[in-house]
């Protein structure tokens, strides 16, 4: 999936999740039978209709079909309720690892900004054996959004979600705490490195004063 522009104004993010080690992806979310499911619980970034969900498969052992559902939450435990939001479900063939954009059913359902919901991914049949990507728990620690795994019952994992939401107009929006990445390249440097300093160059489209930075 190519890079997408984010619709809206300048995004000034919150503090990023705590990274305790080098960033890496995990393949702990296995989909090898019809009982196994994964879910990413998030808030709607802005009001609109979600047309497609991009899911990253870390590994595909046996190609098959995957189903994505947008579900409401059980307010008692924060797990997916099993109740579909409108027609927000779709199935697509998964032939290889990487990003896969799965279209949802129509007519699309408008969802309000800040609404809580779950992106639930499961086998679309009984023939696919694959694993979904998530940011490894050893380096990512956050309370929300969160990742769930089902192998008989739902349980919460420390892995950070990896997916993306496409609106009906083709635009994308930042979902706080979600990492829409396919690979990680870590770069180490220290006081004796040939270039012992690193920088991120940022240009703001308006006058402003910086009060600090997270490092």
Domain spans in the chain, listed from the N-terminal domain onward:
25-167
* Cα distances (angstroms) measured from residue 47 to each of 44, 69, 99, 107, 114: 7, 18, 25, 16, 8
Q: What is the pLDDT of residues 61-83, one digit of tens each?
A: 999 999 999 999 999 999 999 99
What is the CA angle 67-5-106, rounded to 5? Answer: 35
Q: What is the pLDDT of residues 146-202, one digit of tens each?
A: 999 999 999 998 888 889 999 999 999 888 888 887 776 666 766 677 776 677 777
214 has a pLDDT exceeding 90: no
pLDDT of residue 21: 57
Which carries the bigger pLDDT value, residue 139 or residue 117? 117
User: Residues 6 or more apart from 39 whose CB is under 8 A from it?
Assistant: 71, 79, 80, 118, 119, 120, 121, 147, 148, 149, 150, 154
User: Residues 6 or more apart from 203 whose CB is under 8 A from it?
Assistant: none
Structure tokens belonging to residue 211: 């009060």
Task: Return left, alpha or beta for 158; rule: phi > 0 is left, psi -120 to 50 is alpha, else beta.
Answer: alpha
Which CATH fold would you assign to the domain 25-167? Answer: Jelly Rolls (2.60.120)
Per-residue DSSP letter, 206: S
pLDDT of residue 1: 62
Q: What is the pLDDT of residues 69-128, one digit of tens each?
A: 999 999 999 999 999 999 999 999 999 999 999 999 999 999 999 999 999 999 987 778
pLDDT of residue 203: 75
Query: Which range is least confidently modeled, 4-8, 14-18, 57-61?
Result: 14-18
Note if the pTM is more than 0.75: yes
């Amino acid at each position: 999936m190519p890079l997408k522009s984010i619709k809206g104004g300048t995004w000034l993010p919150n503090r990023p999740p705590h990274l305790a080690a080098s960033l890496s992806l995990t393949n702990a979310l296995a989909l090898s039978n019809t009982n196994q499911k994964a879910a990413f619980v998030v808030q709607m970034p802005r009001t609109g209709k979600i047309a497609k969900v991009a899911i990253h498969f870390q590994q595909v052992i046996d190609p098959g079909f995957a189903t994505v559902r947008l579900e409401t939450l059980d307010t008692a435990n924060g797990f997916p309720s099993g109740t579909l939001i409108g027609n927000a479900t779709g199935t697509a063939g998964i032939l290889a690892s990487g990003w896969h954009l799965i279209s949802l059913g129509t007519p699309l359902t408008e969802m309000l900004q800040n609404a809580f919901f779950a992106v639930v991914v499961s086998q679309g049949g009984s023939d696919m054996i694959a694993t979904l990507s998530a940011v490894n728990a050893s380096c990512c620690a956050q309370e929300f959004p969160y990742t769930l795994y089902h192998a008989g019952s739902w349980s919460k994992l420390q892995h950070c979600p990896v997916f993306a939401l496409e609106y009906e107009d083709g635009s994308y929006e930042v979902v706080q705490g979600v990492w829409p990445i396919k690979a990680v390249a870590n770069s180490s440097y220290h006081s004796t490195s040939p270039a012992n300093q690193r920088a991120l160059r940022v240009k703001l489209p308006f006058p402003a004063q910086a009060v600090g930075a997270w490092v």
